[in-house]
Structure 1
Amino acid sequence: MRIVSWNCSMALYKKRHLLDELAPDVAVLQEVSKKDIEGGNYPFAAWVGSNPHKGLGVIGFSPGSYRMTEPGDRGLPWHLPFSVDGLNVVALWAHQLDKDLKYVRVTHKIVDQHARFLGTGRAMIVGDFNSNTVWDHQHRGRNHSMLVDKLRGIGLDSVYHRQHQSAHGAEQAKTFFHNWDRDLGHHIDYAFVSSGVEAKVTVGEIEHWLPYSDHMPLVIDLD
């Protein structure tokens, strides 16, 4: 199964050919319009957000056994829990509810709420986390390193870090470029997968993707 996560920076309808080139079975898309998700004839589609032009969406392109298995709390922006062919997935765009509950702090609460769903032994949380260990000091008590430990405690680890034997905060590949600036790259998009699930991830190349979005796609192949 191939799962692609991409913050498409809106206007997916102008960039759809780029997603098609990646040939995903499932796409998790951030900053995507409700119309771009629900306007097609797909085996599965779901969207959540407060702005119809800019939310979190999931498209199932390949036939499969899809279902929304747990309710997504709209008070925790934004996430969509679903399953496909026995894989439990939480699609994520970690956003901001208020001054205190934002980014990695939101993700902590989402993981807490769906810990049983994610702890089944065949699960994934994937998307734009808007967090990294380098900013731990900004989120004392609920930071990224603590999130990594929390996910490890329910049996999930980052595919990128497993594959490259990299520490969090020391990633060579950047997934986001602030202000679309090549010199302001950060690694803030992740796929955490159950430790017993074989997976590989590829990060999109900046030369190809930066003209279209400040985020690079993650292409995750699961055995």
Structure 2
Amino acid sequence: MKIIEWNCQGAFRKKNNKILALKPDILVVTECESEVKLEFGKSTEKPNDFFWYGNGHKGIGIFSYCDYKFELLKEFNPKFSYIIPLKVSDKKSSFLLFAIWAKDNVENPEIGYITQVWLALEYYSRLLNLNSIFIGDFNSNQIWDDKHKVNYNHTAVVEFFKRNDIFSLYHEQNKVAHGQEKEHTFHMYRKIEKPYHIDYCFASSEFLKTGFDIQLCKPNEWLEHSDHVPMIIQLNKPQKKMELNNSLLDNIIHKTNKLNSLTITKFDKIINQIKTKATKYDFKQKQEEKMEIFEAMERIIEIDKHITELIKNGY
């Protein structure tokens, strides 16, 4: 299968013919317009399936031009609004696709950009043992490590992936370290003399074992359309369906199992209430209830950190 990722720098409907001529099976477009503006069948070739998440003007668009269908995971957390977890499946196979557009966080700058990616990986940690692809505009490179907290910078994210047997296809194929890339995905102000490597495709080792190829398009062919160039990935499709229960409850159970035993004992009633609400959400999927569950679980986790610290200090 051919997966193409591209930050189109907006107005995708006016420039999609060039990228669609490359015949992607799955196309991931950041800074993409919503379905209303894309005008499928008129301004944009109609895909077999499509998912978009954004703010009304720009977001992430994921297009399927093959038999694959998309299903948003119920544990999707809008706190990590531009890290979109999708189950991708056809009749014979399935895998997880995380479409990523790492942005700033106006309300809390300290958790924007690559830090948000790290926090999202921690949140979705129960899924990382499944066959997965993480692809998009990470807006990050190891050369900027000192601009972020050590535990949450680019190197920390790469190590997080590595601990879960997930690797950058570009770096694996080209045998190059992060921060020492010879090709670039982004040219600031569309100037050839201002190059950076900030788009990535990380994939589970199962994809690497069956063979892959990754190529970056030439900037002189694309800079008139965007400050990013497309990334083209060829992968073999998985041979089977993965075992995944698309459930918010499973996410909550995973997180409560990691709590200190004292926290579980002291807050047993509240934890059970959270689980009950998560079960109801899995059936009814009311967004307001989902946000209440997230907020309650975050408070429990924060309390657990304090309890664990107190125990560590001998209290």
Q: What TM-score, normalized to structure 1?
A: 0.94
Aligned partner of 2:136 in structure 1 is 127
- After superposition, residues 1-80 of structure 1 pair within 5 angstroms as 1-35=1-35, 39-40=39-40, 41-50=46-55, 52-80=56-84
Q: Equivalents in 1 of 2:75, 2:21: separation in Å?
A: 32
Q: Equivalents in 2 of 1:208, 1:89: separation in Å?
A: 28
**1:25-65 CA distances to partner (integer Å, 9 max, x unpaired)?**
11111001113687434322111122x22111111111224
Secondary structure of the corresponding residue to residue 103 of structure 2: coil
1:158–1:36 Cα change, 3 Å: farther
Q: Equivalents in 2 of 1:152, 1:37: separation in Å?
A: 39
- After superposition, residues 132-211 of structure 1 pair within 5 angstroms as 132-140=141-149, 141-197=151-207, 198-211=211-224
Q: Which moved more, 1:37-46 or 1:199-208?
A: 37-46
Share of identical aligned residues, percent? Answer: 29
Secondary structure of the corresponding residue to residue 75 of structure 1: helix
**Runs of 5+ unmatched residues, structure 1:** none
1:188–1:2 Cα change, 3 Å: same
Larger Rg: 2
Contact 2:49 2:69 in 1 (8 A): no
RMSD: 1.5
Q: Equivalents in 1 of 2:216, 2:74: separation in Å?
A: 29
Secondary structure of the corresponding residue to residue 3 of structure 1: strand
1:188–1:36 Cα change, 3 Å: farther
**Runs of 5+ unmatched residues, structure 2:** 41-45, 237-315
Q: Equivalents in 2 of 1:19, 1:177: separation in Å?
A: 18
Secondary structure of the corresponding residue to residue 22 of structure 1: coil
Q: What number of residue pairs does the alignment pair up?
A: 221
Q: Equivalents in 2 of 1:123, 1:163: separation in Å?
A: 18
Q: Equivalents in 2 of 1:221, 1:113: separation in Å?
A: 28
1:221 aligned to which of 226, 230, 234: 234
Q: What TM-score, normalized to structure 2?
A: 0.67
1:75–1:182 Cα change, 3 Å: same
Supply the AA of the counterpart residue of 1:183: E
1:190–1:70 Cα change, 3 Å: farther
